[in-house]
Copies of this chain bind each other. A is one copy, B any other.
Amino acid sequence: MHPDFQLWTTERLALIESFLEQNLPATNCAPARLHEAMRYAVLNGGKRVRPLLSFAAGELSGADKTQVIAASAAVELIHAYSLVHDDLPCMDNDILRRGKPTCHIRYGEPTALLVGDSLQSLAFQLLAESALTEDPRTQLEMIRHLAFAAGSRGMAGGQAIDLDSVGKTLSLPELEFMHIHKTGALIRAAVILGARCGSRLNEDQFKQLDHFAKCIGLAFQVVDDILDAEASTAALGKTAGKDAENNKPTYVSILGIKQARELAHELQREASGVLDKFGPEALRLQQITDFIVQREF
């Protein structure tokens, strides 16, 4: 990682961690155990890829980093809730997340269910009560966007398609359709919400930016599948090899490792091509794109 990008990232990670720390309910506030479990699920050393995307997109659209914090936190809370619910026994039944016991292993299933539910509510509360933009109508549009991206025609819908696909043979377009919803919708929301915090972009540029986000969302998933197939549980911090074990179709199972790698690089090139049109302000988005494709965990 370039030292200058490292510094940029470290600064923003500090902002987002501090904001989440302050805006998650305190453990001395009732119900204490639920609040402890919410903090456990969120303040656990996540990579914060989505918040970083929001910050980078905010930079592209001329927003100050302080303006982007709440929106980026809201997206991260939706992501965190989805992980808690996805790990539940009735879903992926996973016991390890970021190297620690999953929320329901640590706090029990009923609490984990309520943690996810409460984190989703908190995301929308923060989006509604924070000063995100000068125009409250833009703020309403951001809430609408995140709600749509999280819901049945976005992330949760992708999860439903994923559940239905276990044990089935999917075509590449079917797999892509699933991931555009399951992980793609929220990554696109991270980029678009970050950019809406500023005022430098026109609607055509928002469309291009959305296409960029669609490409890196898919690239992210392709790389995830490669890592799941190749890495060890210790390196991933979550149970490796689960996809194959669960007989889940992945980019690796459909394309093989070599072609999956090629696809990741192709998506990286397409994403970079969009960014080239935006000029030097897109530097951070470019660096995150490279990070997403080259990461090893």
Partner of A109 from the list B90, B125, B143 (CB cut-off 8 Å) is B90
Stretch from A12-20, A31-39, A209-217, A254-262 that touches the partner: A31-39
Check: A245 CB closer than 8 A to any chain B CB. no
Contact B90 A152 (CB under 8 A): no
* 9 residue pairs bridging A and B, Cβ less than 8 Å apart: A90-B109, A90-B113, A114-B163, A116-B117, A118-B151, A121-B148, A124-B124, A124-B147, A125-B148
Given contact pairs A35-B152, A152-B35, A117 touches B114 in the complex (Cβ within 8 A): no
Interface assignment of A96: CB less than 8 Å from any CB of chain B: no
Shortest distance from the beta carbon of A145 to any chain B beta carbon, whole Å: 8
- Between A88, A153, A156, A177, the greatest number of chain B beta carbons within 10 A of the residue's beta carbon is seen for A156
CA distance A128 to B149 in the complex (A): 13
Tell me which of A85, A113, A154, A177 has the highest count of chain B C-beta atoms within 10 A of its own C-beta.
A113
Contact yes or no, A150 B137, CB < 8 A: no
Q: Point out the residues of chain B lying under 8 angstroms from A268, CB to CB.
A: none
Q: Decide if B152 touches A34 in the complex (CB within 8 Å).
A: yes
A62 in contact (CB, < 8 A): no
Give the docked Cα–Cα distance between A128 and B143 (Å).
6
* A4 CB–B CB distance under 8 Å: no
Known contacts A153-B29, A164-B31; is-contact A125 B113 (Cβ 8 Å): no
* Closest Cβ neighbor of A145 among chain B residues: B128
Q: Which B residues touch A35, using CB under 8 A? A: 152
Given contacts A122-B147, A128-B141, A147-B124, are A161 and B116 in contact (CB under 8 A)?
A: no
A161 to B35, CA, bound (A): 12
**Which A residues lie at the B interface, using CB under 8 A?**
25, 29-31, 33-35, 38, 81, 85, 88, 90-91, 109-111, 113-114, 116-118, 120-122, 124-125, 127-129, 136-137, 139-141, 143-144, 147-148, 150-154, 156-157, 159-161, 163-164, 177
Chain B residue nearest to A147 (CB atoms) is: B125
Integer count of this chain's copies in the complex? 2
Distance between Cα atoms of A113 and B33 in the complex (Å): 22
Which 7 residue pairs spanning A and B have beta carbons closest together?
Answer: A121-B151, A125-B147, A118-B152, A90-B109, A128-B144, A136-B136, A128-B143
The answer to whether B128 and A113 have CB atoms under 8 Å apart is no
Do B151 and A31 touch (CB < 8 A)? no
For A161, the chain B residues whose CB sits under 8 A away are 30-31
Is B137 in contact with A33, judged by CB distance below 8 angstroms? no
Q: Is B113's CB under 8 angstroms from A152's CB? A: no
Q: Are A136 and B143 in contact, with the CB atoms below 8 A? A: no
Contact B125 A144 (CB under 8 A): yes
13 new A-B contacts, CB < 8 A, other than A117-B150, A118-B156, are: A25-B153, A34-B152, A34-B156, A110-B160, A114-B152, A114-B156, A121-B147, A121-B148, A121-B154, A124-B143, A128-B141, A129-B140, A136-B136
